[in-house]
Amino acid sequence: GSSKAASLHWTGERAVSVLLLGLLPAAYLCPGPAVDYSLAAALTLHGHWGLGQVITDYVHGDVPNKVANVGLYVLSGLTFAGLCHFNYHDVGICKAVAMLWSL
């Protein structure tokens, strides 16, 4: 039950990390909407899991833990929505990073 779920979660975290390692060169070599939206999803999920672990480690008590987790879900949802909005209505993540590097 719980042990298998934890193992699957750990495997998922590693898979997203490896996916991010592949998306970084892809963003440089072939930028486009597919890579932009994949980056938006993978970065949001990676950050969500990382901040979730910070909450697990440092937020104690039922009510503070629930409030922190609700805040995390709101933050993650807004982050993903913001990145998708940026990809759709602006230059996208790949080109934005390239523009920053060209400064």
Mean pLDDT by 10 residues, the chain (103 residues): 82 91 90 95 95 96 97 98 97 93 86
pLDDT number for residue 50? 94
Domain that holds residue 51: 4-101
pTM metric for this prediction:
0.87
Contact present, 94 and 31 (Cβ < 8 Å): yes
**DSSP character for 61?**
S
Would the annotation count 46 as a binding residue? yes
The span from the CA of 68 to the CA of 63, in Å, is 9
State how many domains the chain has. 1
Would the annotation count 60 as a binding residue? no
pLDDT number for residue 28? 87
pLDDT number for residue 78? 98
In CATH, what number is assigned to the domain containing residue 66? 1.20.1300.10
pLDDT number for residue 89? 97
pLDDT number for residue 9? 86
